[in-house]
Amino acid sequence: MRALSIVAISVSAFISAMFVETASFATIYRCVDARGVPLFTNIASRGTNCRAYIQGNRKSHRVPVSFSAPPRDKDASRFSRYDEPIRQAAALYQIPELLIRAIIKVESDYDPHAISSAGARGLMQLMPETAGYMAVRDIHDPRENIFGGARLLRILANSFQGNLDYTLAAYNAGEGSVVKYRGIPPYAETRDYVVRVNHYYRLYRSMQNETPISAEP
């Protein structure tokens, strides 16, 4: 069996690649250039107005999700309602569109009003603190929530050198947990989460051919 991996890349003018070598993490800066255009980088360049958005050696900002109630939005149209922002976020951050869809399916079942018992919110179940780090102004706005989640996935994919399972585990349990255990943490919820997202991702790919994901031998 081949292990799937998300290609680790630099996203133009947004996020530079970050690779995990130790338990320390690079600091991510939100900068504004001379034209007023915001960008995200791990290097605070001169001539720009920068401030740290994610500090090095940070604690995990992602809390495992547990729903206390089923999603309120059960309208079947919700599965196609967010097609455009999903496509845009996938293209911008070079995350497979069907992977984003699989994560939304598992996280919120496409209910933008979903709130976990831990306080994670929206389609991609962002914690409020994480949403702030990801420059999400309105965590309840579906488009912003999707972009924030995709932005976090890109950072994690780069951090774990494109390893899909580690990226998913970090999205659920936090980067620190994956680094600590040097792999998927021994949490039943996190392991189940990785299995479920992979299940839907493979299911969606079997229904619609999509190949912007690399395979390692």
| CB distance 7 to 31 below 8 Å | no
DSSP string, 35-68: TS-EEEESS--TTSEEEEEE-TTPPP-------S
* Helix/strand/coil for 88: helix
107 is catalytic: yes
Rg of the chain on CA atoms, in Å: 17
Residue 50: strand pairing partners = 31
The two structure tokens encoding residue 141: 């706005």
User: Which residue is catalytic, options 97, 107, 144, 175?
Assistant: 107
| CB distance 115 to 139 below 8 Å | no
Side-chain-side CA neighbours of residue 80 (13 Å): 2
Which residues are tagged catalytic? 107
